[in-house]
Amino acid sequence: MMADLGQEIGWDDEIENEGADFEPLPEGIYEFEVRTMQRGRFPGSDKMCACNTAELTLVIVDNDGKEHQVFESLKLNSKMEWLLSQFFLCIGQKKKGEALRPNWNAVPGSRGMAEITVNEYKDKNGNLKKNNRVSKYLAPEPKQFKAGVF
């Protein structure tokens, strides 16, 4: 999948594209590719201590060939270990029932399947907005062997 990197706009160039209103993907199960991963830091809250985070940009291509980006933050906290395991099972790094020391450098470019939901929230101005979120990372289905079928 080739990323659309855009084109540089000169200081004196005309601009006209005002963008379209963002329309999230319908809820469902989609294949994704991890486009980018940035290491970050979660400052902590009243529910979770400060910890490292993996800030992911997942890219999903819809049936019309249009790319959609879903932004996810994986918190490296024991309370979220189940989600980390789910993610690494999904992208094929982890085997069910086995411990894993993640290879974070191999995350960008990884592919998997996820259940996507539509999240509603209010922006800083109090306007109702929608975006997509991952509700569940799906482990690959084991291949079913049938005699005579290749």
Does residue 12 sit within a domain? no
Does residue 14 sit within a domain? no
- Distance of alpha carbon 54 from alpha carbon 76, whole angstroms: 8
Residue 86 has pLDDT above 80, yes or no: yes
Write the pLDDT tens digit of every residue in 18-71: 555 568 899 999 999 999 999 999 999 999 999 999 999 999 998 888 999 999
HSE, CB side, 13 Å, CA atoms: give it for residue 53.
16
Does residue 147 sit within a domain? no
Q: Which domain holds residue 115?
A: 28-138
Does residue 17 sit within a domain? no
- Looking at residue 39, which CATH number applies to its domain? 2.40.50
Does residue 55 sit within a domain? yes
Q: What angle do CA 55, 80, 103 make, to 5 degrees?
A: 55
Name the domain count of the chain.
1
